[in-house]
Structure 1
Amino acid sequence: MTDAPEILRYAAFADDASGGNPAGVVLDAAGLDDETMQRIAAEADDAETAFITGMADDGARRVRYFSPIAEVPFSGHATVATAIAIAEREGPGTLRFETPVGEIVIETTAAPDRPNELRAAFTSVEPAVEPIPEFVLEGLLVLLGLDRTELDERFPPRLAFAGNWHPVLVVAALEAFDGFSADPGAVRAFMDTQDWKATITVLHPLGDGDGDGGSGSDTAQPARFEARNLLPVGRITEDPATGAAAAAVGGYLRALGLVNPPARVVIEQGRHVGRPGELTTDIPEHGGIVVSGRAVPIT
C-alpha cells in the first residue's frame, strides 16, 4: 500500500472524549505488514490500536491488536471503538470479528431518541478461571505493596481469562485500593515472566445489588466495583478502561459462585488516571461474558 492508512481515535467506555480509554482504529489495514502495524501502534501510543486486515470467507472482519510494544491477543476497548467506528459508517447492527483468540460477536445499537448515540456490546470467548500459584501471588502482593490481610476475603485471588489472562485481586478497604502503587518497570518485568499480555486487575467492591443483580435471586450479590488495571506499555502505566478485564471479571464471578446468573455488574474505572469510564458486564448462565459501553471520537 502506498498511501498511509487513516488512523482514527476513539475514547471507549465513556460519554465524552475526555474519559474512558483511547484506542486507535485502522479500518483498512489490508496490505500492512506486522512491522508497519507495530510502528503505527507505537506512534499512536494508546493502550491498543485495532487493525482490520481483511475479510474472512464467511464475512467476518479480521482484526488484530497492537500495544505500543507488542501484538496482544485481544483488546476489549479497541473492539468497542472499532465497532462504533464501523456503525457510524454503516449503521448499527451485528458485527463479527475474527481475532487471534477466536470469533467475537458485537452488537451495535443506537439510542431510540438519539440515533447518533451508539453503543457496542461484545460477547467474549469462553471464560476460564485458575488458581494463582502461591509463590506468584506472594510476588504480586510484594510488587504492589499490598498485604494479604488487605484482600477482601469474599473474593479469593484468581487468574481469569476471557481473551487474555488477568490476575484478579479484590482489595477490601478503599484506602488500600487508592493507595497501592508499583514501579512500572518492575511490573512489566513481572508480567513478562508470567506471560501476562494484558493487565493486572485490582478491584474494590462498591456495594451489593438490591438482591437480584438481574437474576431474580433473593441473595445480595456484588453489583458494582471500581477497578484499577496496571498496564505498563510506553507512557501508559495504568489502563483507564479495560474491556477484556471486565469480561474476565464476569467469568471469575460466575465460576466462583459470587453472582447468580443472569447478572449484571457495573465496573467503574479510570478515576486514578483522570479518565473516568464505566463498563457494563452482563453475566449469562453459560457461554461468553457480554461487555458493553459507548465510544466517542477523539478529535
Structure 2
Amino acid sequence: MTDTDVLRYAAFTTRPDGGNPAGVVPDARGLSDSEMQRIAAEVDFAETAFVTSVGAGRARIRYFSPIAEVPFCGHATVAAAISLAEDGRAGDDGVIEFVTPVGPVRIEVARDDDGLRATFTSVPPTVRALPEADLDEILGLLGLARQDLDPDLPPRIADAGNPHPLIALAAESVFDGFGFDPDAVRALMDARGWPATIAVVHRTDATRFAARNLFPVGRITEDPATGSAAAALGAYLRVQAAVPVPGRIEIAQGRHVGRPGVLHVEIPATGGIRVSGHAVRMG
C-alpha cells in the first residue's frame, strides 16, 4: 500500500491544521485485517477508515486505530463521507449509508459557505451507570476528587456506537488544568474494554460544552474531536433532561492539544443523535 492510496483529512474543522486528523482508504477491497491494522499504525492518526465496498448510495466501512479495530468512529465517518462525495460516489442527493460494525449509519453531505459538511445519525444510543469503582479510578488517574464533579451532570457511560465513560467537571479551571499518565489511562481502558475515549466535559452555557477526550494510542494522548463521544453526550443530556429536546448543542474540543475544532449536535426527542461538521484535505 503506497502513501497515495491513503487520503488524509482533518474533520470537524475548516482548517487542515485543526480538528481531528483521519486517514481514509477509499478502496480497501481485498485488504486483510492485518494489512488494515498495519496501515492504520503507519498513518498514526487516532483512526483510519477503510471503505471495503461502495454501491448505490451504500458503503461498507471499518475503522482502525494504530493499535486495534474500533467499532465506530465519528470523525473518520465524516472524513470518509466527504471523501466519497468529492469523488462522486455518494448518492445523487448527497446521502450515503455506511454499513459499520455497530450497524447502519446514515450520512448526509451538503455544501455550505465553508465547504462540504457531513451529518451522521448515530445508532440508537444507550446510557447506563458508571460503576463507582471505575469513577474513583478515573478521578484518581486525573488527580481529581468527587467535589470537582458537576452535581447537575452525574457520571455515566453513554454509548452511541462506542461506550464512553463520561464525567462533567464544574469548574473551568479544573477542566483546563488536569493532567494524566497516558500509560495508566490506557491500562484502565484496556482492562475495562473501553475501545474509544474517556470523555471529560465542562458546560460553558446552556447549549455549549467544552470536551477533552482521553485516548492514549501511540503518540496521541487526547483525541482532538470525537464524533462518537459527541453523539454519546447528546444521548446523555437527553436522558438526564439536561437540555430541551428536540434541541442543539455545540462542543468545542481540541484546544488542549493545539487542534481546535467544533462539533454540532442535534438531539431529537427519540432515536439516534445527529452530529455534523466539515472536513478538509490535509497537505
TM-score normalised by L of structure 2: 0.96
Counterpart for residue 39 of structure 1? 38
Counterpart for residue 107 of structure 2? 106
Q: Does 1:96 find its partner at 2:97?
A: yes
Query: 1:134-145 maps to which residues of 2 (within 5 A)?
Result: 134-145=132-143
Q: Secondary structure at the match of 1:63?
A: strand
- After superposition, the C-alpha distances for 1:231-290 in whole angstroms (9 at most, x for unaligned) are 000100000000000000000000111122111000000000000000000000010000
Counterpart for residue 78 of structure 1? 76
Output the aligned Cα RMSD: 1.5
Count of aligned positions = 280
Label 1:174 to 1:24 Cα distance change in 2 as closer, same or farther (>3 A): same
- Separation (CA, whole Å) in 1 of partners of 2:6 and 2:191: 32
- After superposition, the C-alpha distances for 1:68-118 in whole angstroms (9 at most, x for unaligned) are 00000000000000011111121660010000000000000012xx4x811
How far did 1:4 drift? 7.5
Any gaps of 5 or more consecutive residues in structure 1? 209-222
Q: Which amino acid aligns with 2:234?
A: G
- After superposition, the C-alpha distances for 1:134-170 in whole angstroms (9 at most, x for unaligned) are 1111111111111100111000000000000001110
- Separation (CA, whole Å) in 2 of partners of 1:77 and 1:108: 14
Counterpart for residue 15 of structure 2? 16
- After superposition, the C-alpha distances for 1:146-199 in whole angstroms (9 at most, x for unaligned) are 110011100000000000000111001111001111100000000011100000
How far did 1:55 drift? 4.0
Query: 1:114-129 maps to which residues of 2 (within 5 A)?
Result: 114=113, 117-129=115-127
Kindly indicate whether the alpha-carbon contact (under 8 Å) linking 2:57 and 2:96 is maintained by their aligned counterparts in 1: no
- Separation (CA, whole Å) in 1 of partners of 2:94 and 2:54: 17
Counterpart for residue 49 of structure 2? 50
- After superposition, the C-alpha distances for 1:190-231 in whole angstroms (9 at most, x for unaligned) are 0011100000000011112xxxxxxxxxxxxxx000000000
- Separation (CA, whole Å) in 2 of partners of 1:146 and 1:120: 36
Q: Secondary structure at the match of 2:153?
A: coil
How far did 1:3 drift? 7.4
- Separation (CA, whole Å) in 1 of partners of 2:269 and 2:245: 5
Q: Secondary structure at the match of 1:250?
A: helix
Q: Which amino acid aligns with 1:194?
A: R
Query: 1:170-249 maps to which residues of 2 (within 5 A)?
Result: 170-208=168-206, 223-249=207-233
Q: Does 1:283 find its partner at 2:281?
A: no
Moved over 4 A (4+): 2-5
Counterpart for residue 158 of structure 2? 160
Q: Secondary structure at the match of 2:269?
A: coil
Kindly indicate whether the alpha-carbon contact (under 8 Å) linking 1:5 and 1:26 is maintained by their aligned counterparts in 2: no
Kindly indicate whether the alpha-carbon contact (under 8 Å) linking 1:5 and 1:29 is maintained by their aligned counterparts in 2: no
Kindly indicate whether the alpha-carbon contact (under 8 Å) linking 1:24 and 1:44 is maintained by their aligned counterparts in 2: yes
Kindly indicate whether the alpha-carbon contact (under 8 Å) linking 1:5 and 1:28 is maintained by their aligned counterparts in 2: no
Label 1:130 to 1:122 Cα distance change in 2 as closer, same or farther (>3 A): same
- Separation (CA, whole Å) in 2 of partners of 1:249 and 1:69: 25
Kindly indicate whether the alpha-carbon contact (under 8 Å) linking 1:247 and 1:290 is maintained by their aligned counterparts in 2: yes
Any gaps of 5 or more consecutive residues in structure 2? none
- Separation (CA, whole Å) in 2 of partners of 1:4 and 1:277: 26
- Separation (CA, whole Å) in 2 of partners of 1:108 and 1:33: 29
Kindly indicate whether the alpha-carbon contact (under 8 Å) linking 2:57 and 2:95 is maintained by their aligned counterparts in 1: no
- Separation (CA, whole Å) in 1 of partners of 2:167 and 2:65: 24
Kindly indicate whether the alpha-carbon contact (under 8 Å) linking 1:145 and 1:180 is maintained by their aligned counterparts in 2: yes
Q: Which amino acid aligns with 1:79?
A: T
- Separation (CA, whole Å) in 2 of partners of 1:207 and 1:286: 24
Q: Which amino acid aligns with 1:260?
A: P
- Separation (CA, whole Å) in 2 of partners of 1:197 and 1:155: 23
